[in-house]
Structure 1
Amino acid sequence: MATRRIRKVAILGSGVMGSQIACHFANIGLEVLLLDIAPKELTAKEEKQGLKLDDSAVKNRIVNEALMAALKSSPSPIYRQSFAKRITTGNMDDNMKDIASADWIIEVVVERLDIKKIVFDNVEKFRKKGTIISSNTSGIPIHMMLEGRSEDFQKHFLGTHFFNPPRYLELLEIIPTPKTDPAIVDFLMDYGRRFLGKKSVLAKDTPAFIANRIGVYSIMNLFHTVKEMGFKVEEVDKLTGSILGRPKSATFRTCDVVGLDTLVHVANGVRENCPDDEAKDMFAIPGYVQHLLDNKWLGSKSGQGFYKKVKGADGQSNILSLNLETLDYEEQTKVRFDIIGKVREIEDVRERTKLLIESDGKVGDFFRANFLGLFEYVSNRIPEISDELFRIDDGMRAGFGWQLGPFEAWDALGLEKGVELMKANGQKPAAWIDEMIASGAKTFYKVENGAKYYYDIPSKGYKVIPGTEDLVVLDNLRAANTIWSNKGTTIVDLGDGILNLEFHTKMNTIGAEVIQGINKAIDLAEADYKGLVISNTGQNFSAGANVGMIFMMAVEQEYDELSFAIAQFQKTMMRIRYSAIPVVAAPHQMALGGGCELCMHSDKVVAHAELYMGLVEFGVGVIPGGGGTKEFVLRLSDSLKEGDIRINAMRERFLTIGQAQVSTSAYEAFDKGYLREGVDEVVVSREFQLKRAKEAAIALADKGYSQPVERTDIKVLGKEGLGIVYVGANSMKSGNYISEHDALISEKLGYVMCGGDLSEITEVSETYLLELERKAFVELCTKKKTLERLQSIVTKGKVLRN
């Protein structure tokens, strides 16, 4: 059988989802054809321009405006704006013939079966045999779209439900029909993971599929519980957000963002179309939700929902919350629960979840009501919506942003403990749970020999989670393969001569324990291994240096100790660069300040596409002090060619640091100079990132890695650059664009980047630049306004512009 490849994708329907799906396929380098209907009438502007309905500008107006709106939306659906050139737009009158060259056709039109049938009639006329066709529907059973379709169409047709926004939410539900060729299902399950960076979840063709069925049940269960127990909106959001390892928007704020009409549509669909669902009454709409619907208060898109933003007499914005009893908006109360304070410092979300469910009082009753109902519900959905329990957890993590899926949360509490609490509460799990306990199984998941297993219900035994056999997963290796650890880091043997260093400090900030861990990892790797990877499983790669530690030293005026700490940081970054083994960094999400500097000193970066990288020290009143400023000067020196305008290139690098610019994707990190073309690379799949980083470390070692020699040939501009920096800072201050303190930081940054007060262009060493960098950093820490900025970050988590 020939290898199937996807080179071109056709998207039919350019609404919010269609345009954003088109952007994500453009993100991964594919040619994309985006089509929509042609308008039936001219706009006033088109009439004034003398255009006619058959002019291409008119016929493509709907699709072009939709794509433009997507590209302007925030957060952006595209990794780099230039990638949008990979998308060709057209209309369904003139361009349906062009789908003949597509390898995958995705229908994303309005949720009406009659309209989808018309679209598929046209698809049948033009598609080539063997082309995959899928529908992104979330409300119409997939099998109902097969009527009247050819055998080849039916064989290659299935549902592919992307979650919105498709760039950012990992979930891709794959929903085959009885007629779908199993080879197509296997192909798309792998393609979704490997190429699109998705968590591909195989779902059955049941209402709301997997994630929305469970997620909306969880929300509706909570809606009813909240009313009965008398909780306020803001209290519920405090209890169901980050404290549970779920998005900060928690429950009611998430409903406002998604839109209450969308939520209710799914809930009504389940209630009407799942007559055998034992909890179908839970999907009934509570009175306070109906009140919002009746008033068309649907959330963010209508300006109010469970929350409402108003302006006070002082002109300041204030966010009110809905009183669920009176149905009036009122000032939010300060939420304080003793248990929240107790568990906040517990890093392990499993341990936190267990303590919350077992806690006393009203809050404990709240968590038990919601979790025990959820446990009962998911146990009864197998085999209705999925044959395997891990797919439900995958769906909830990837689609709803939960760190723990329902069965993982149950494992955290304890399988038998969960059953005990449920029975005490008058609830009963599915029969297979009792059979599972009788078989001697204690958990839904277990890790053995570096592999993760799930409990397989039919065989009453454990099986490896399919698709994970070829991955490198820290969570599966840590228990057996940890060779060293301290409070902030763990060193794990990945096999094949490669070590991994992971951080697990708060926000993965870099302090003394992380510095110690980096040096220890390099010591061990140089002695007995081929190479080192630096990666972790945290929410973010690293939020940078420990600002609290810097603030304490600065406020106590311990400047010698601060200078020593910065020197140690610099020395460690240089050790990453000049070790005897290759060091590969694998950053994801935020890599800021020191996290960015660590990556910039690695031999290679294997970056996840969702990478928000930047040198942001300017915002806390200092300059990059861990070698980041030096590294920008070095890269500037290497990039200059004969005839280049040196000052313009220097100004661009200066502004990247001076404006604390952060990339909105890994691709933009190349544009900003944080990543290196031809050296660093991007992977879209977070699942495959560590495997690829390990392979990169092996490749560097196997081709003959030699310890580099410290650079002494870095060209700096001296007074030629300094004049421009000082004039620019002064004019910006005079125009009130920056503060006096900003101007001072700018001058210090410029002084380092120009190599000091040198009379001409001079070649200097890295050590020379690091000394300038460190001195400028410490001098800025003696300034009152820098202390104020540091204090604001430490105490409020906010950047202060003073």
Structure 2
Amino acid sequence: MSKRRINKVAIIGSGIMGSGIACHFANIGVDVLLLDIVPNELNAKEKAQGLTLENKSVRNRIVNEALSAALKSSPSPIYHKSFASRITTGNLEDDIEKVSQVDWIMEVVVERLDIKKQVFEKLEKHRTPGTLITSNTSGIPIKFMSEGRSDDFQKHFCGTHFFNPARYLKLFEIIPGPKTADSVVEFLNQYGEKYLGKTSVIAKDTPAFIGNRIGIFSIMSLFHIVKSMDLTIEEVDKLTGPVIGRPKSATFRTVDVVGLDTLVHVANGIAENCKNDERLELFKLPNFIDTMMENKWLGSKTGQGFYKKIKNEDGQSEILSLDLNTLEYRKKKSAKFATLELTKPIEKVIDRFKILVNGKDKAGEFYRKTFAALFAYVSHRIPEISDEIYKIDDAMKAGFGWEHGPFQIWDAIGVEKGLELIKSEGSEPASWVNDMVALGNTSFYTVKEGATYFYDVPSKTQQKIPGQDAFIILDNIRKSNEVFKNSGVVIEDLGDGILNCEFQSKMNTIGGDVLAGLNKAVDIAEKDFDGLVIGNQGANFSVGANIGMIFMMAVEQEYDELNAAIKYFQDTMMRMRYSSIPTVSAPHGMSLGGACELSMHADKVVAAAETYIGLVEFGVGVIPGGAGSKEMALRASDSFRKGDVELNVLQEYFLTIGMAKVATSAYEAFDLGILQKGKDIVVTNKDRQIATAKAHARIMADAGYTKPVIRKDVKVLGKQALGMFLVGTDSMEAANFISEHDQKIANKLAYVMAGGDLSEPTLVTEQYLLDLEREAFLSLCTERKTLERIQHMLKTGKPLRN
């Protein structure tokens, strides 16, 4: 059988979801045809222009406006604005025959079976046999949609359910129809994971599939508990947010963003179509939801939901909260619980659950009730919605942003303890859980030889989760493959002669222990290995240098120690670049300040597409001091071409630092000169990142890696550049674009990047620039306003303009 390749897709329907999916296919380099209906009347603007319904711009108005709105939305659905050129728009009357040229047709129209069936009838007339055809439905049974279609259509048809926003949420549910070919399901499963960067989950054709069935149950269960326990919406959002590894928007804020009407639509669908669900009564809407629906308090889209943004008497924005008893908006109340205070020292979310369910206060009671309900519910969904427990966990992590799935949380609390909670709330688990315990299994998951195994209900044995071989899961190998450990890092053997250095500090900040660990990793790799990867699988690669440590030294005026600490950072970065083994950095998520400097000094960067990277030191009143300012001057020098206005080139690199620019995807980082074309690469699926980085370190080692020669040929422009920068910062300050302190920081950076006030362009060494950079950094640490900025950042997490 010939290999199926996806070069071009057609997306039918350009609403929020359709446009988002179109953008994500464009993100991965696929050609997209985006089609929608023809408007049935002119709008006021078109009438004023004297246009008719035959005019092409009128006929494509719906699709063009939808795509344009998507591209302007924030956060952006696209990795790089140039990628939008991969999308061609059209309409379902003039352009439908073009679907004959695509490899995959995806329907994303309104959630109505009659309309979907009409669309499929039209598409089948033009579809080339063998072409994939799928529906992005969130709940209409797949078996109904393909009724009456040809055998070839039904064989290549299934549900492919993306979650909104398509770029950011990782869940990709694949729902086979009654006649879908196994090869089609298998292809979509690997395509979703490898190319789209998703967590592919094959689901059964049951109402709301996996993610929404469990996710909506979880929210509806909360709605009922809130009332019975008389909790405020602030209290629930405090209890169901980051403390348990859920998004910051927690419960009610999330519902506001998604839209209450969307939630109600799915909940009603489950209530109507799951008559045998043992918790059916929970899907009936509480009174306060009915009232909110009547009042059109649907969330962000209608300007108010559980929260409402207003302007107060001082003209300042203020957020009010809905009182669920009176259904009136009031000032936000703060929420505090003693049990949550007990979890503050516990960095790892998975280790908090035991403490939370044992809490003696209202929070403890809340967790006991919610987890008891969740555990019982998911146990009863096997085998109804899935035969495997890991699919339920995968769906909740990838579709709802939970750090841990229900069965993983149950394991963390203890299987026996979970059963106790279920019984104390008057519920019963599914019988297979009791059977599992009776057979001597004490957990749902186990790790053996670096792989995760799950309890397989039909066979009553632990089975290996399929598809792991493409990944390296650091949690699974950390203990068995540990080579060295201190309080800042763990160094693991990845196999095949490649070592990995994994940060373990709070938010993966880079302090003394991490730097010592990095140096140790280079030492070990040079002695006994062939290459080194710097990578981790935390929420973020690293938020940068430990500014708390810098602040303490600066306040105590321990300038010699501070100078030594900065030099240690610089030397470590240079050590990575000038080691005798290849070094590969694997940034993802936030990769700021020192983390960006580290990546810029690796031999290669294997970045996750979702990498938010930049030199942000201006925000805390300093310049990049870990070799970042030096490196930007060096990269500017390397990009000077004959005939260039070199000052303009240097200015671009200067502004990247001076404006604290952060790339909002790895592709944008190439524009900022942080990643380098032809050297650094991007992977769409973060789960594959460490394995890919390891493979590249191996390739470089096998190609005969030689230690680079220290650079002594960096061209700096001296007074000529310095003068231009100083005039620029002067006029910016005079026009109130920047503060006096901003100007001072910018001038220090200008001095470093110009190479000082040399009388003419000169070739200098990297060390010369590093010394200038360190001197500038230190002098800024003596400034009161810099200390105010650092303190403000430490207290609030936000930059201060002073």
Query: What's the TM-score, normalizing by structure 1?
Result: 0.99
Q: Paired residue for 1:201?
A: 201
Structure 1 stretch 701-710 or stretch 308-317: which is displaced more? Answer: 308-317
Q: Paired residue for 1:449?
A: 449
Deviation of 1:278 (Å): 0.2
Query: Are 2:413 and 1:413 aligned?
Result: yes
In the aligned structure 1, how far is the partner of 2:556 from the partner of 2:397? 44
Query: Are 2:693 and 1:693 aligned?
Result: yes
| Counterparts of residues 624-773 of structure 1 (less than 5 Å) | 624-773=624-773
User: 1:318 is paired with a residue of what secondary structure?
Assistant: strand
Query: Are 2:28 and 1:50 aligned?
Result: no
State the AA in 2 paired with 1:467.
Answer: G
| Counterparts of residues 526-541 of structure 1 (less than 5 Å) | 526-541=526-541
User: 1:42 is paired with a residue of what secondary structure?
Assistant: coil
Provide, for residues 485-541 of structure 1, a one-character-per-residue CA deviation record: whole Å limited to 9, x for no partner: 111210111100011111121111100110011011111101100111011011100
Structure 1 stretch 422-431 or stretch 160-169: which is displaced more? Answer: 422-431
Q: Paired residue for 2:475?
A: 475
In the aligned structure 1, how far is the partner of 2:358 from the partner of 2:123? 55
Q: Paired residue for 1:573?
A: 573
Q: Paired residue for 2:555?
A: 555
Provide, for residues 68-109 of structure 1, a one-character-per-residue CA deviation record: whole Å limited to 9, x for no partner: 111111000000000000111111111111011110000001
In the aligned structure 1, how far is the partner of 2:235 from the partner of 2:117? 46
Q: Paired residue for 1:506?
A: 506
- Percent identical across equivalent pairs? 62
Provide, for residues 50-76 of structure 1, a one-character-per-residue CA deviation record: whole Å limited to 9, x for no partner: 222122111111111111111111000
Task: Indicate if the aligned counterparts of 2:206 and 2:385 stay in contact, CA closer than 8 A.
Answer: yes
Q: Paired residue for 2:78?
A: 78
In the aligned structure 1, how far is the partner of 2:493 from the partner of 2:442? 28
Query: Are 2:319 and 1:323 aligned?
Result: no
Task: Indicate if the aligned counterparts of 2:337 and 2:361 stay in contact, CA closer than 8 A.
Answer: no
| Counterparts of residues 460-499 of structure 1 (less than 5 Å) | 460-499=460-499
State the AA in 2 paired with 1:553.
Answer: M
User: 1:321 is paired with a residue of what secondary structure?
Assistant: strand
The RMSD of aligned alpha carbons is: 0.8
Deviation of 1:598 (Å): 0.3
Task: Indicate if the aligned counterparts of 2:342 and 2:355 stay in contact, CA closer than 8 A.
Answer: no
Deviation of 1:48 (Å): 2.3
Task: Indicate if the aligned counterparts of 2:103 and 2:131 stay in contact, CA closer than 8 A.
Answer: yes
Q: Paired residue for 1:239?
A: 239
Structure 1 stretch 780-789 or stretch 465-474: which is displaced more? Answer: 465-474
| Counterparts of residues 262-341 of structure 1 (less than 5 Å) | 262-341=262-341
Structure 1 stretch 44-53 or stretch 77-86: which is displaced more? Answer: 44-53
In the aligned structure 1, how far is the partner of 2:512 from the partner of 2:216? 44
Task: Indicate if the aligned counterparts of 2:338 and 2:361 stay in contact, CA closer than 8 A.
Answer: no
Provide, for residues 633-682 of structure 1, a one-character-per-residue CA deviation record: whole Å limited to 9, x for no partner: 11111111100111111111111100000001000000111000000000
Q: Paired residue for 2:229?
A: 229
User: 1:58 is paired with a residue of what secondary structure?
Assistant: helix
Task: Indicate if the aligned counterparts of 2:139 and 2:209 stay in contact, CA closer than 8 A.
Answer: no
Query: Are 2:57 and 1:39 aligned?
Result: no
Structure 1 stretch 37-46 or stretch 164-173: which is displaced more? Answer: 37-46
Provide, for residues 228-255 of structure 1, a one-character-per-residue CA deviation record: whole Å limited to 9, x for no partner: 1111110111111000010011011111
Structure 1 stretch 422-431 or stretch 652-661: which is displaced more? Answer: 422-431
In the aligned structure 1, how far is the partner of 2:41 from the partner of 2:777? 63
| Counterparts of residues 30-429 of structure 1 (less than 5 Å) | 30-429=30-429
Q: Paired residue for 2:13?
A: 13
State the AA in 1 paired with 2:66.
Answer: A
Query: Are 2:595 and 1:595 aligned?
Result: yes
State the AA in 2 paired with 1:409.
Answer: I
Task: Indicate if the aligned counterparts of 2:339 and 2:361 stay in contact, CA closer than 8 A.
Answer: no
State the AA in 2 paired with 1:526.
Answer: E
Q: Paired residue for 2:793?
A: 793
Query: Are 2:607 and 1:607 aligned?
Result: yes
State the AA in 1 paired with 2:400.
Answer: F
Deviation of 1:257 (Å): 0.8
State the AA in 2 paired with 1:14.
Answer: S
In the aligned structure 2, how far is the partner of 1:429 from the partner of 1:479? 33
In the aligned structure 1, how far is the partner of 2:425 from the partner of 2:25? 48
Deviation of 1:178 (Å): 1.4
Deviation of 1:123 (Å): 0.9
State the AA in 2 paired with 1:702.
Answer: D
User: 2:200 is paired with a residue of what secondary structure?
Assistant: strand
State the AA in 2 paired with 1:356.
Answer: L
Task: Show structure 2 runs of 5+ residues with no match.
Answer: none
Q: Paired residue for 2:585?
A: 585
User: 1:750 is paired with a residue of what secondary structure?
Assistant: helix
In the aligned structure 2, how far is the partner of 1:695 from the partner of 1:439? 41
Deviation of 1:420 (Å): 2.1
Query: Are 2:779 and 1:779 aligned?
Result: yes
In the aligned structure 2, how far is the partner of 1:200 from the partner of 1:567? 46
Structure 1 stretch 609-618 or stretch 132-141: which is displaced more? Answer: 132-141
Deviation of 1:471 (Å): 1.8
Task: Show structure 1 runs of 5+ residues with no match.
Answer: none
In the aligned structure 2, how far is the partner of 1:312 from the partner of 1:90? 46
State the AA in 2 paired with 1:696.
Answer: H
State the AA in 2 paired with 1:592.
Answer: L
Provide, for residues 175-227 of structure 1, a one-character-per-residue CA deviation record: whole Å limited to 9, x for no partner: 00110001100000000000000000111111111011001101111111111
User: 1:169 is paired with a residue of what secondary structure?
Assistant: coil
In the aligned structure 2, how far is the partner of 1:399 from the partner of 1:239? 20
In the aligned structure 2, how far is the partner of 1:127 from the partner of 1:425? 54
Deviation of 1:425 (Å): 2.6
User: 2:470 is paired with a residue of what secondary structure?
Assistant: coil
State the AA in 1 paired with 2:85.
Answer: K
In the aligned structure 2, how far is the partner of 1:377 from the partner of 1:299? 28
In the aligned structure 2, how far is the partner of 1:772 from the partner of 1:798? 28
In the aligned structure 1, how far is the partner of 2:201 from the partner of 2:588? 22
User: 1:480 is paired with a residue of what secondary structure?
Assistant: coil
Query: Are 2:456 and 1:438 aligned?
Result: no
In the aligned structure 1, how far is the partner of 2:401 from the partner of 2:550? 33
Provide, for residues 264-300 of structure 1, a one-character-per-residue CA deviation record: whole Å limited to 9, x for no partner: 1111111111000000101111111212111110111
Total equivalences in the alignment: 802
Query: What's the TM-score, normalizing by structure 2?
Result: 0.99
Deviation of 1:314 (Å): 1.5
Task: Indicate if the aligned counterparts of 2:232 and 2:323 stay in contact, CA closer than 8 A.
Answer: yes
In the aligned structure 1, how far is the partner of 2:307 from the partner of 2:178? 44
Structure 1 stretch 772-781 or stretch 36-45: which is displaced more? Answer: 36-45
Structure 1 stretch 344-353 or stretch 220-229: which is displaced more? Answer: 344-353
Provide, for residues 366-415 of structure 1, a one-character-per-residue CA deviation record: whole Å limited to 9, x for no partner: 00100010000000001111010000000000000000100000000011
In the aligned structure 1, how far is the partner of 2:688 from the partner of 2:96? 36
In the aligned structure 2, how far is the partner of 1:424 from the partner of 1:618? 55
State the AA in 1 paired with 2:219.
Answer: I
Task: Indicate if the aligned counterparts of 2:526 and 2:581 stay in contact, CA closer than 8 A.
Answer: yes
